[in-house]
């Protein structure tokens, strides 16, 4: 979607920003708007020269009709991160679940997995693809949209994050980044190479990234069960896990862009990934209360994994008559993965009591194609319409042996699933007056999923129609203040795993052992419906000099058909005794609302004679309520009450050295998931610091320390059924990560 804000009744600005809008829609360089004279008649445009220069990140945000935040190479390079998740965690309104420094679900507005849409070059993220497999060097910019737009899928109740890979040729260059990390006594080396050049009408950009990781992991799991009636403990266990995972990977990306006659272009963008790893661990179990003897005293386990991905996107753009454009895309690829785990458990006499083995092979293929027609109409409308088709096939082969027996034999070893998605949309950006621009869109999207295994098959179809409205109001043509409003319809679709009814066992033990309310089997629900949400977003923005800004926004989401996993004790076909089973279910409705504050400025703008320090800060406060679940804390799943970031960069005067750091924090919080289930997460505080020395114009050295506070990460789940209240608390040890990165340009 072209996403530029213009005030076309002022003719020179009309010309400048219309050109900028078309350039941005095609990924071409664009210029910032030229100064204007408000007296220029709208039907007598003055001549304006537009230079080939892309809008700055701040200006692109400012002139976008539909709200969009853009973070380019400056933000991506700031801390010398080796993980894209480490970059994202500092951006406004974004939190990362899981242990600090080990990745996790990417969340906007605190909402859990599935509420935030992740796009890669504007396309849905392929199944099996993880952002952990992308290094910041492979990315051109990150775009964040808090409300959906028609040309992207509206599976974005919390918002959309679009990861744009390295783009068109800018200048001939070669870059090398050598990274040496250190965590818990182990080296984490990595090398990134990039080459940008042109051959005649062909521009190309090639990036290669290779790495090796050696990561320790230590955790303690405390499990207690209490008889509520007598207040007597029935189970007290402490499980210690100590493991180490090593992995190697290489990622190759490229963009080949041919400039054709008449301004047309053809682009090919391949992506190749290969990674392999292994992990070894030891588990000890201390049980002071419970069944005798304990299930085991200690265990050793070993796991191997190997995965490959190959994808390619072809993009063809035509310039048509009357300034119209037609863009066609085709995107296809395949992901394969193979993992195997062997676990042997022993009693206190070192006798083998249980031997378990799992192996899973996955082959996932997808193909998609899309088209978009756009044109300017009557000088103040920018119209676009398009379609999308996507088809995917997944084949998963699983073998499970528990003491030589396969408890899931009735389901066979092979599960196959097919998905298809169809979408059509239309949108219009209309500059009503020099001060007021609006965006209207309508999107229809249908997703169909079928799955087959031995003795079972299932199908699920969902269709969502999404009307979308965005508006922006500027107080005067020269004003640095503006107000945004969005009213949108979005949804959250069930994942493939949510729908497939083949069970997954909670642990590799005999049927009646270690299956508990807090460690249950899981099974899909083929009848699951998508969540539907109406959204309201209102924001006030004030733009400062030197690319600074201050903004305040509020939002609300009204959600119907809420999906949530519910645990119950069931008689099942894969066990001779009842098992605790978790299954996703549509519970009812929920609401989520909050406000978000953001500031980015130079200290000199506020205090004359102050040090050259750039300040970055954002704070988000969230409230939510799930109907049908009694309070307190009947919030949306794993949503914190607030999150915040504070960062600063200091450029030394007279020396080519910059120091900086950022503090990211999320408070402890509790969520009541159902009447019988609750979740708790401890406080997360992550402090990262860096120093950058620009040795020469072509060489710089970056030193960094991440997770400096390295506090323990604590989570807990609680289940109460009948007279039993069971709690499982996990405490994971974290480590600081030190790194040195040498960046060279040739």
CATH code of the domain covering residue 513: 2.40.170.20
Spell out the SS3 assignment of 10-73.
CHHHHHHHHHHHHHHHCCCCCCCCCCCCCCCCCCCCCCCCCCCCCCCHHHHHHCCCCCCEEECH
| Average pLDDT of the residues in 141-147 | 93
Residue 588: domain span: 56-745
Is the predicted pLDDT of residue 33 greater than 50, yes or no? no
d(CA 125, CA 378): 36
The residues, ordered by sequence, that sit 6+ positions from 270 with a Cβ below 8 Å of its Cβ are 252, 253, 254, 310, 311, 312, 313
Distance, in Å, from the CA atom of 406 to the CA atom of 415, rounded to the nearest integer, reads 16
Residue with tokens 């051109």: 140
Mean pLDDT score of the chain: 87
**Each residue of 670-692: b (16+ CB within 10 Å) or e?**
ebbbbebbbbbbbebebbbebbb
Residue 26: pLDDT above 60? no
- For the cut 90, the answer to whether the pLDDT of residue 598 exceeds it is yes
Question: How many separate domains does the chain show?
Answer: 1
pLDDT band at 240 (very low <50, low <70, confident <90, very high): very high
Q: Is 46 a member of any domain?
A: no
Least confident range from 9-18, 162-171, 389-398, 476-485: namely 9-18
> Vertex 442, ends 437 and 446: CA angle to 5°?
155
Q: Distance between CA 4 and CA 65 in Å, rounded?
A: 6
| Percent of the chain whose pLDDT exceeds 90 | 61
More confident residue, 510 or 699: 699
What integer is the mean pLDDT of 636-644? 91
Confidence at 53, pLDDT banded by 50, 70, 90: low
What is the model's pLDDT at position 168?
56
**15 lies in a domain?**
no
Q: In the structure, what pLDDT confidence band is assigned to residue 732 with cuts at 50, 70 and 90?
A: very high
Residue 393: pLDDT band with limits 50, 70, 90 = very high
pLDDT of 43 reads 39
Q: Considering only 92-106, 234-248, 394-408, which range has the smallest mean pLDDT?
A: 92-106
Residue 37 burial (CB count, 10 A): 11
The reply to whether 29 falls in a domain is: no
Do 85 and 94 form a contact (C-beta atoms < 8 A)? no
Q: What is the pLDDT of residues 479-490, one digit of tens each?
A: 899 999 999 999
| pLDDT of residue 587 exceeding 60 | yes
d(CA 77, CA 458): 46
Whether residue 390 lies inside any domain: the answer is yes
Only one residue has tokens 């409205």, namely: 469
Asked if residue 164 belongs to a domain, the reply is yes
144/398 Cα distance (integer angstroms): 37
DSSP lists the bridge partners of residue 113 as none
Percent of the chain with pLDDT over 70: 91
Residue 148: the pLDDT is 95
Look at residue 588 and tell me whether its pLDDT is greater than 60.
yes
Return the half-sphere exposure (C-beta side, CA atoms, 13 A cut-off) of residue 238. Answer: 5
What does the pLDDT average to over 643-658?
93
What is the value of pTM for the model shown? Answer: 0.84
User: What mean pLDDT comes out for the span 600-628?
Assistant: 92
Per-residue confidence at 50, pLDDT binned at 50, 70, 90?
very low
- Surface-to-core class of residue 603, CB atoms within 10 Å of its CB (0-12 exposed, 13-18 middle, 19+ buried): middle
Whether the pLDDT of residue 60 is over 70: the answer is yes
- Provide mean pLDDT across the span 473-478: 88
Q: Which pairing describes strands 579-586 and 521-522: parallel, antiparallel, or unpaired?
A: parallel
Whether 426 has a pLDDT exceeding 90, the answer reads: yes
CA distance 361 to 280: 20
- Kindly provide the b/e burial profile for residues 64-100, where b requires at least 16 CB atoms within 10 angstroms of the residue's own CB: bbbbbbbbbeebbbbbbbbbbbbbbbbbbbbbbbebb
Query: Does the pLDDT of residue 407 top 90, yes or no?
Result: no
Does a structural domain hold residue 86? yes
Q: Is the pLDDT of residue 623 over 90?
A: yes
Summarize the confidence of residues 241-252 as an average pLDDT.
94
345 band by pLDDT with thresholds 50, 70 and 90: very high
Q: Using CA atoms, how far apart are residues 62 and 478, in angstroms rounded to an integer?
A: 13
Instruction: Tell me what pLDDT residue 137 has.
Output: 78
pLDDT tens readout for residues 491-546: 999 988 888 888 888 764 444 456 778 788 899 899 999 999 999 999 999 999 77
Give the number of residues written for the chain: 746
Q: How far is CA 150 from CA 70, 191, 558, in A?
A: 19, 39, 20
E strands in 201-351 = 202-227, 232-259, 265-289, 298-319, 325-346
Buried b (16+ CB within 10 A) or exposed e, 8-36: bbbbbbbbbbbbbbbbbbbbbbbbbbbeb
Comparing CA positions, the residue from 275, 109, 197 lying closest to residue 638 is 109
> Is residue 42 in some structural domain?
no
Pairing between strand 613-626 and 481-492? Answer: unpaired
Residue 22 lies in a domain: no
- Three-class SS state of 77: helix
The separation between CA 371 and the C-alpha centre of its own chain, rounded to angstroms, equals 25
Name every residue whose Cβ is closer than 8 Å to that of residue 666 and which is 6 or more positions away in sequence: 95, 640, 642, 643, 681, 683, 684
Query: Distances from the Cα of 475 to the Cαs of 55, 478, 479, 525, in angstroms?
Result: 22, 8, 6, 51
**Nearest one of 302, 294, 301, 300 to 347, comparing CA atoms:** 294
């Amino acid at each position: 979607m072209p996403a530029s804000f213009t005030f076309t009744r002022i003719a020179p600005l009309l010309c400048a920003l219309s050109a900028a809008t078309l350039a941005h829609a095609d990924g071409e360089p664009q210029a910032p708007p030229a100064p204007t004279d408000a007296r220029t008649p709208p039907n007598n445009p003055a001549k304006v020269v537009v230079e080939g220069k892309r809008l700055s990140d701040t200006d692109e945000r400012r002139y976008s009709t539909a709200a969009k935040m853009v973070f380019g190479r400056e933000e991506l390079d700031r801390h010398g991160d080796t993980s894209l998740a480490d970059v994202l965690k500092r951006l406004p309104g974004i939190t990362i679940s899981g242990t600090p420094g080990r990745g996790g679900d990417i969340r906007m507005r605190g909402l859990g997995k599935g509420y935030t849409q992740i796009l890669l070059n504007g396309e849905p993220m392929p199944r099996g693809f993880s952002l952990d497999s992308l290094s910041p060097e492979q990315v051109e910019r990150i775009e964040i949209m808090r409300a959906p737009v028609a040309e992207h899928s509206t599976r974005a109740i919390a918002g959309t994050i679009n990861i744009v890979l390295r783009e068109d040729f800018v200048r001939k260059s070669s870059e090398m980044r050598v990274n040496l990390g250190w965590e818990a006594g182990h080296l984490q080396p990595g090398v990134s190479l990039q080459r940008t050049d042109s051959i005649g009408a062909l521009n190309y950009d090639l990036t290669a990234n290779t790495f090796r990781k050696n990561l320790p992991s230590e955790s303690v799991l405390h499990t207690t069960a209490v008889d509520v009636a007598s207040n007597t403990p029935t189970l007290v266990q402490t499980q210690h896990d100590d493991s180490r995972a090593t992995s190697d990977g290489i990622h190759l990306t490229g963009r080949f862009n041919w400039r054709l006659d008449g301004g047309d272009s053809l682009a090919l963008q391949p992506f190749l990934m290969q990674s392999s790893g292994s992990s070894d661990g030891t588990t000890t179990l201390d049980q002071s209360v419970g069944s005798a003897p304990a299930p085991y005293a200690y265990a050793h386990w070993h796991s191997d994994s190997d995965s490959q991905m190959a994808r390619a996107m072809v993009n063809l753009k035509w310039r048509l008559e009357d300034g119209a454009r037609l863009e066609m895309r085709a995107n296809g690829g395949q992901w394969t993965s193979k993992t195997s785990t062997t676990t042997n458990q022993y009693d206190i006499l070192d006798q083998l009591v249980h031997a378990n083995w799992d192996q899973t092979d996955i082959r996932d293929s997808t193909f998609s194609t899309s088209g978009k027609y756009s044109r300017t109409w009557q000088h103040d409308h920018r119209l676009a319409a398009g379609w999308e088709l996507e088809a995917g096939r997944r084949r998963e082969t699983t073998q499970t042996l528990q003491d030589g027996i396969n408890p899931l034999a009735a389901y066979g070893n092979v599960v196959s699933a097919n998905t298809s998605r169809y979408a059509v949309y239309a949108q219009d950006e209309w500059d009503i007056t020099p001060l007021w621009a609006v965006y209207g869109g309508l999107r229809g999207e249908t997703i169909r999923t079928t799955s087959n295994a031995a003795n079972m098959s299932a199908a699920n179809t969902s269709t969502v129609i999404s009307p979308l409205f965005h508006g922006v109001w500027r107080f005067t043509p020269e004003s640095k203040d503006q107000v945004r409003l969005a009213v949108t319809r979005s949804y959250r679709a069930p994942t493939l795993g949510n729908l497939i009814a083949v069970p997954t066992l909670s642990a590799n033990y005999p049927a009646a052992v270690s299956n508990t309310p807090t460690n249950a089997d899981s099974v899909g629900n083929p009848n699951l419906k998508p969540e539907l949400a109406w959204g309201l977003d209102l924001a006030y923005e004030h733009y400062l000099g030197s690319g600074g800004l201050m903004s305040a926004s509020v939002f609300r989401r009204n959600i119907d058909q809420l999906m949530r996993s519910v645990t119950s004790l069931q008689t099942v076909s894969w066990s001779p005794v009842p098992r605790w089973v978790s299954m996703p279910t549509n519970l009812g409705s929920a609401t989520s609302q909050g406000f978000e504050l953001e500031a980015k400025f130079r200290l000199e703008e506020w205090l004359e004679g102050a040090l050259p320090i750039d300040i970055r800060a954002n704070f988000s406060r969230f409230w939510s309520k799930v109907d049908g679940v009694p309070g307190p804390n009947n919030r949306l799943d794993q949503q914190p009450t607030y999150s915040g970031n504070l960062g600063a960069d200091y450029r030394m005067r007279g020396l080519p050295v910059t120091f900086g750091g950022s503090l990211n924090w999320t408070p402890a919080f509790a969520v009541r998931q159902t009447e019988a289930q609750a979740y708790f997460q401890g406080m997360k505080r992550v402090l990262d610091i860096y120093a950058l020395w620009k040795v020469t114009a072509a060489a710089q050295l970056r030193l960094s320390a991440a997770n400096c506070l390295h506090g323990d990460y604590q989570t807990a789940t609680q289940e109460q059924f009948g007279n039993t209240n069971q709690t499982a608390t996990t405490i994971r040890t974290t480590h600081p990560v030190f790194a040195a990165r040498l960046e060279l340009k040739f």
